[in-house]
Amino acid sequence: MTRLSVNINKVATLRNARGGNLPDVERFAVDCERFGAQGITVHPRPDERHITRKDVLLLKDLVSTEFNIEGNPRPDFVELVLQASPAQVTLVPDALEQITSNHGWDTRTHLSALRPIVATFRQAGIRVSIFVDADPQMVEYAREAGADRVELYTGPYAERYPHDPQAALAMYRPAAEKARELGLGLNAGHDLNLLNLRPFLQAFPWVDEVSIGHALISDALYLGIEETIRQYRACLN
């Protein structure tokens, strides 16, 4: 069964807009787990515009399911992940000025840079996932880099799905099947929501984990976080 990891960045964005500790990010993470989340994802960025270094270090002792830290493996990020020792680290090639992630790694071009970083995390007992576009070659080179999993960037899927669902799914089949063929774990994330999640998982039932933040937190404004997590979990079954 595919697991649901809730990305809580947007909760931290709301807190940081006013200062103080409302909403309480750490309590929110614990409550998400209580309501059925099977993991918590954070993506700390250098400017700390949402999740902060302090948040990461507090969450490492609070998350009881699976803690997943995403980010570009700059030296300060590597140091933070090793200190927090999460279950999983997801390597994302986001630039400093990016609002959100919008592409995966070119794992072929960056193979020599990724290999030692992946090895460092694996030696520390941290599972490594590499964020890639839906390109089977990028999946192959992620394996060459030593990754345990790949996370497919599903932004293009979400954009195309409302207009042509079958074509949207067809875009992802070669990469998803390549991951399975190579024995890599398969994650997915970005712009997945209550409308497009179930079809994606019906097409690729071997997806291990989805990481969902923006849509899930937006749905919670209307449904409440407990009901929202229940509905996302229902999509996974």
Given a cut of 70, is residue 33 above it in pLDDT?
A: yes
Q: Residue 223: pLDDT above 80? A: yes
User: What are the tens digits of pLDDT across the range 72-88?
Assistant: 999 999 999 999 999 99
**pLDDT one-digit tens code per residue, 197-211:** 999 999 999 999 999
Q: Is 54 left (phi over 0), alpha (psi -120 to 50) or beta?
A: alpha
Asked if 43 is an active-site residue, the reply is yes
The one catalytic residue among 26, 43, 66, 209: 43
Q: Is the CATH number of domain 3-236 3.30.360.10? A: no
183: pLDDT strictly greater than 80: yes
pLDDT on residue 99: 65
DSSP letters spanning the chain: -PEEEEE-HHHHHHHHHH-TTSS-HHHHHHHHHHTT-SEEEE---TT-SSS-HHHHHHHTTT--S-EEEEE---HHHHHHHHHH--SEEEE----TT-SS------TTTTHHHHHHHHHHHHHTT-EEEEEE-S-HHHHHHHHHTT-SEEEEE-HHHHHHTTT-HHHHHHTTHHHHHHHHHHT-EEEEESS--TTTHHHHHHH-TT--EEEE-HHHHHHHHHH-HHHHHHHHHHHH-
User: What are residue 205's phi and psi, to 5 degrees?
Assistant: -70, -5
The pTM score is 0.96
- Selected catalytic residue, list 70, 140, 151, 209: 70
Active site residue 190: yes
For the cut 80, the answer to whether the pLDDT of residue 101 exceeds it is no
Res. 162: pLDDT tops 70: yes
- Say what the pLDDT of residue 103 is: 83
Active-site option among 50, 66, 190, 209: 190
Rounded Cα–Cα distance for residues 51 and 123 (Å):
26
